[in-house]
Amino acid sequence: MIPAAFEYYRPKDMTGVLSLLGEHGDNARVIAGGHSLIPMMKLRMADVPHLIDLQGVGGLDDIELSANSIRIGAMVTQHDIIDHNGLASAAPILREAALQIADPQVRYMGTVGGNVANGDPGNDMPGLMQCLDATFTVVGLDGERDIPARQFYEAAYMTAREDEEVLTSITMLIPAGGYAYEKQKRKIGDYATAAAAVLLTKEGNTCKSASIAMTNLSDIPVYSEEAGAALVGSSLDDTAIKAAVTAVLGDIDPSEDNRGPVAFKKHLAGVILRRAIERAWSRA
Amino acid sequence: MKDEVESREDRVAGLKGMGCSRKRVEDARFTQGKGNYVDDLKLDGMLFGDFVRSPYAHARIVNIDTEAALKVPGVLAVLTAKDLEPLGLHWMPTLAGDKQMVLADGKVLFQGQEVAYVVVQDRYAAADGIEAVEVDYEELPVLVNPFEALKSDVVLREDLLAEDGSIPDGAHGPRKHHNHIFTWEAGDKDPTLEVIDNADVVAEETMYYHRTHPCPLETCGCVASMDKVNGKLTLWGTFQAPHAIRTVVSLISGIEEHNIRVISPDIGGGFGNKVGAYPGYVCSVVASIVTGKPVKWIEDRMDNLMTTAFARDYHMTGRIAATKEGKITGVHCSVTADHGGFDACADPTKFPAGFMNICTGSYDIPTAYLEVDGVYTNKAPGGVSYRCSFRVTEAVYFIERMIEVLAIKLNMDAAELRRINFIKKEQFPYQAALGWEYDSGDYHTAWDKALKAVDYDGLRAEQAQRVEDFKAGKTRKLMGIGLTFFTEIVGAGPVKNCDILGLGMFDSCEIRIHPTGSAIARLGTISQGQGHATTFAQILASEIGLPADSITIEEGDTDTAPYGLGTYGSRSTPVAGAATAMAGRKIRAKAQMIAAYLLEVHDDDVEFDVDRFAVKGAPEKFKTMNEIAFAAYNQAIPGIEPGLEAVSYYDPPNMTYPFGAYVCVMDIDVDTGVPVIRRFYALDDCGTRINPMIIEGQVHGGLTEALAVALGQEIAYDDMGNVKTGTLMDFFLPTAWEVPNYETDHTVTPSPHHPIGAKGVGESPHVGGVPCFSNAVQDAFRPFGNTHTNMPHDHWRIWKTANELGLHG
């Protein structure tokens, strides 16, 4: 549990970060809260000769709320998310999800930016951000660019971010309607056996919009457009929910691990999704 | 004088003796981070050692190339079996009469096995050095299933074959196959089979008690320091049995025992994991002898989970016979025990399956037979008693499951079935069919109290309603009521039948009273969190009349403490606690003579009263223990030596048999497999209660480890012998979040043979807790046809049970 030797940098600004990344390419990694990367380094599963700490870079830890949008800096911690009352009233699903991540000690250090950027299929924020249709802003030597969360993830630990780029912020529209982040895990601190993020709006008794994403049921988060579409226009009767579940089951691709075999995970994904939909609907 | 105004009650209270919820004296340092654990030890010039470990479960070692590793900065030496062989230390004896490789001698038998030992200047260099050692392995067929191992042509232990290829006897008699270790039997086979063949009703079940691990928060480790000038070896370590370790080190190293000092500093939990001797100790000692410098070895979490002693891994088949009214007439238990690559179980030598022969439980079963076959596989060695006396957890799980299975067969309430089969109060001391003599018990009283406390009939009515509601589609949650009545066998043990490597399992206490009325007592045991410094002082306070706060308890330094066999198997209170009381009584006997002299009366004319000796019939004439202590050292008393000291080595006449009645109420989500413990009631009878607060803490801790084992804690292997649960992400260690509220209760049935009537409690809640949690899960599914499903009851396995019973529609 001791990492291989590495060089540690703590630049004072993003220019310094980008210049180091430019110099060392894929031999360098930036570190935010370190709660994914450091364990990987200690297990010697990640070899990072040059480690660039973002803690010294200013301007990355703000939560900005405007009339209809939210901007979260990459260095905002899970605890900051939970602690921010304005954010909790604008987008309560963020607090509901953050409270189900790891444990309080980890949440004091773990950042939202690190959580979404690392590409770990077990992380909760990627699926949540896909559900919220958030946009990730990354910066490189050639300037900034925006990548939709729904197009960010390519494979486990593989994302649309280039090695020389740094994820700096997450923006999203303030979601309307009902919400739920439903997660089953074996114990506190565990990754999801299955988790579902659901946002719904209703008009009268009809579902007007629906957004559904699943966590840790594939090597990337799974945003299921078809599942959302199955609910829109319905009154969320059993048939509609079953159609949404069927759609999600077609999109996920869980693998067996100590949390259980594939058949269990598929069944559980359906149960968790149904519960999330019902809870979101009750809040819509 | 203060004594004149103090009432007798005040004097009793002031002692903080037995029965007092005295706050733990250890906690001041533990809660402030001021404990002194082995890894806190820093010595001048100290080096570090760490292991190159095998990635394979079974492989021949073709070559070990250390050249590159020796070039890594900070790496001083790399030891392999070849280096240890000239010293005769490449193998070491195990506690079970087998031998174990210290470093891989030509092959490896389990994943994580120690292959080479890198001696370095700091831990960082160790991690780099390990990576640089190049080992060529030739993979061999892997055996992870003991039943297959017993049929396989693959020989795991060539070292145990005779030159002609035949299989010589092992330490415990004939071996049936080259992967077979021993067969151990208890009871009467033919009469038992006859009873079963002719019974009204026979219930049969096969169950697997999975492999798990004690996983103490502090892993195993040591610091070895050889002083080449005076020839003295000091070995600090996480030892549950420091004196036994000293003897073993002396026997295998050839260093005379007086030149070895073993010190167990503060220990962060043991639970059986720290009883045995590990390659890390041997290699550290060798490295210190070679370099002349102190060498530290500390396991990381993965090392601990993957290589140092596991617990359980028992495949058990039971048959239980009864009359149609439910009176049990016989039980047959057959076990295949997976011991891994070496037989390193920590059991008394004559008991290769520990006290598994307590498997008739709390019941008056006239006929019984037990057979246990030990088997080698490609898994880590161990088989220790994880928070239990030797294999008692397995035994209690077996009988408490068999009772439930029989209740199903009889279509009878499981609480009632237990009641009609309990050993009756008047039958004690009770001679059990498998050889033990239970010292005391009042099971019916405890059972009735427990059932009443939880409103058992009300719970059953609620459960019946729940089943109706479930069938009507009104709920997706089932309710389980887990019952357990357990009898432990602890306090090993009488030297006539209990020894480890020939070391009798007595224990000891040595007391010195200081002239001003305070004292130090040293014991052969060692606390790993049990609070010995608190409770042993309480025993002494009551015995010798000095306040517990004025008595220092010391353990763990073999140069100062009297010889003892250590702390495990709930033996400290039954054995060392008895020694403490007996040594205290020797102090009191001498104090009586001194008091009589001072009071100018005959010895028989004074009597002990709380904290003093007073003249019989004239209580105003007395000498306090303080005054007596001062006189013992400072007054010339004819015929009496100066000083006030005593030592006692206590060989217990029998084991003690704590018991308890537990009830768990659980709600199970059929669709997700998530169990929620609504209520857990634990009644423990540990005989005389020394410190109720510490007992409650022990019960909470033992139940939590029981919850862990029953609901998810496992060391799982894949078919290639890879450990699948080598980190705390996958190895379930419950936190405050996963732990329910526990209700504790008690009855008091003192042990008739123990000087203070105490029986021990640290392990009871684990022994009783595991079947209770498991029975709750099983009971929830009983109305749908479940008879038995194996632990651990994690989410997916509970879901699987529901699924197989057709509960998912």
Domain span holding position A38: 7-53
Query: Average pLDDT for residues A78-84, to the nearest whole number?
Result: 98
A2 domain-assigned: no
Instruction: Check residue B500 and give its pLDDT.
Output: 84
Could you please state the CATH topology (level 3) that the domain comprising B38-140+219-267+274-306 is classified under.
Aldehyde Oxidoreductase; domain 3 (3.90.1170)
Name chain A contacts of B734, Cβ cutoff 8 Å.
187
Cβ A2–B738 below 8 Å, yes or no?
no
Query: Both tokens of residue B419?
Result: 């009641």
Helices and strands (DSSP H and E) totals, chain B: 21, 33
Partner B contacted by A2 (CB < 8 A): yes
In this model, does residue A115 exceed pLDDT 50?
A: yes
A26: CATH: 3.30.43.10
In this model, does residue A40 exceed pLDDT 50?
A: yes
Partner A contacted by B39 (CB < 8 A): no
- Supply the ipTM of this predicted assembly: 0.96
Q: How far is B676 from chain A (nearest CA, A)?
A: 12
* Residue corresponding to tokens 């699943």: A214
Top-tier CATH class for B310-492+655-804: alpha beta
A113 and A38 co-located in one domain: no
- The partner residue sitting opposite B795, judged by closest CB among A2, A188, A260, is A260
Instruction: Check residue B4 and give its pLDDT.
Output: 56
**Cα dihedral B625/B630/B636/B638 (nearest 10):** 10
Instruction: Check residue B502 and give its pLDDT.
Output: 85
A1 domain-assigned: no
Which listed residue (B220, B222, B388, B509) is catalytic?
Answer: B388
Partner B contacted by A242 (CB < 8 A): no
**Cα dihedral B11/B13/B16/B20 (nearest 10):** 150
Instruction: Check residue B159 and give its pLDDT.
Output: 96
Output the DSSP codes for B470-520: HHTTS-SEEEEEEEEEEE--BS---TTT-EETTEE--EEEEEEE-TTS-EE
Query: Average pLDDT for residues A181-185, to the nearest whole number?
Result: 98
A74 and A163 co-located in one domain: yes
- Among chain A residues, CA nearest to B801: A264
Partner A contacted by B411 (CB < 8 A): no
Instruction: Check residue B570 and give its pLDDT.
Output: 85
Cβ A44–B131 below 8 Å, yes or no?
yes
A168 and A90 co-located in one domain: yes
A23 and A96 co-located in one domain: no
A23 domain-assigned: yes
Residues 174-213 of A with CB under 8 A from B: 184, 186-191, 193
| DSSP designation for B674 | -
Residues 244-303 of B with CB under 8 A from A: 300-302
Name chain B contacts of A271, Cβ cutoff 8 Å.
671-672
Cβ atoms of residues B759 and B569 within 8 Å: no
Q: How many domains does one find in chain A?
A: 3
Which listed residue (B240, B698, B713, B778) is catalytic?
Answer: B240
In this model, does residue A259 exceed pLDDT 80?
A: yes
A262 domain-assigned: yes
Q: Which of the listed residues A173, A188, A203 is the one where a domain comes to its end?
A: A173
Task: Return phi, psi of residue A183, to 5°.
Answer: -140, 130
Cβ A188–B674 below 8 Å, yes or no?
no
Instruction: Check residue B252 and give its pLDDT.
Output: 86
CATH code 3.90.1170.50 region(s) in chain B: 38-140+219-267+274-306
Task: Return phi, psi of residue B169, to 5°.
Answer: -60, 150
Name chain A contacts of B674, Cβ cutoff 8 Å.
184
Instruction: Check residue B514 and give its pLDDT.
Output: 98
Helices and strands (DSSP H and E) totals, chain A: 11, 14
A198: CATH: 3.30.390.50
A144 and A205 co-located in one domain: no
- The partner residue sitting opposite A186, judged by closest CB among B128, B716, B794, is B794
A268 domain-assigned: yes
d(CA B681, CA B663): 5
A35 domain-assigned: yes
A36 and A87 co-located in one domain: no
For residue A5, how many other CB atoms are within 10 A of its CB? 10
Cβ A258–B730 below 8 Å, yes or no?
yes
Cβ atoms of residues B610 and B565 within 8 Å: no
A67 and A169 co-located in one domain: yes
Task: Return phi, psi of residue A32, to 5°.
Answer: -105, -95
Instruction: Check residue B569 and give its pLDDT.
Output: 84
Q: Which of the listed residues A143, A173, A203 is the one where a domain comes to its end?
A: A173
Partner B contacted by A259 (CB < 8 A): yes
Cβ atoms of residues B588 and B598 within 8 Å: no
Give pairs for A221-228: CB < 8 Å, separation 24+.
A221/A121, A221/A126, A221/A127, A221/A130, A221/A153, A222/A127, A222/A248, A222/A251, A222/A252, A223/A127, A223/A130, A223/A131, A223/A150, A224/A248, A224/A251, A226/A250, A226/A251, A227/A251, A227/A273
Q: Split chain B (809 residues) into runs of 10 and give each run's mean pLDDT.
A: 73 96 96 96 97 98 97 97 95 93 98 98 94 98 98 97 94 96 97 98 98 97 96 96 93 93 96 93 96 97 96 98 98 98 92 96 98 98 93 97 98 98 98 97 98 98 98 98 97 89 91 98 95 97 98 97 91 93 97 97 97 96 97 95 97 96 98 98 98 97 98 97 96 95 98 96 96 98 97 98 95
Query: Both tokens of residue B108?
Result: 């490896």
A183 and A273 co-located in one domain: yes
Beta-carbon contacts of B163 under 8 Å, excluding residues fewer than 6 positions away, are: none
Alpha helices for A145-261 (secondary structure H): 225-231, 238-251
Q: Which of the listed residues A138, A173, A208 is the one where a domain comes to its end?
A: A173
Instruction: Check residue B559 and give its pLDDT.
Output: 97
A271 domain-assigned: yes
Cβ B124–A44 below 8 Å, yes or no?
no
A168 and A194 co-located in one domain: no
A183 and A272 co-located in one domain: yes
Instruction: Check residue B1 and give its pLDDT.
Output: 47
Partner A contacted by B598 (CB < 8 A): no
A58 domain-assigned: no
CATH code 3.30.365.10 region(s) in chain B: 2-35+507-650, 310-492+655-804
A71 and A48 co-located in one domain: no
Q: Does domain B2-35+507-650 have CATH number 3.40.50.150?
A: no
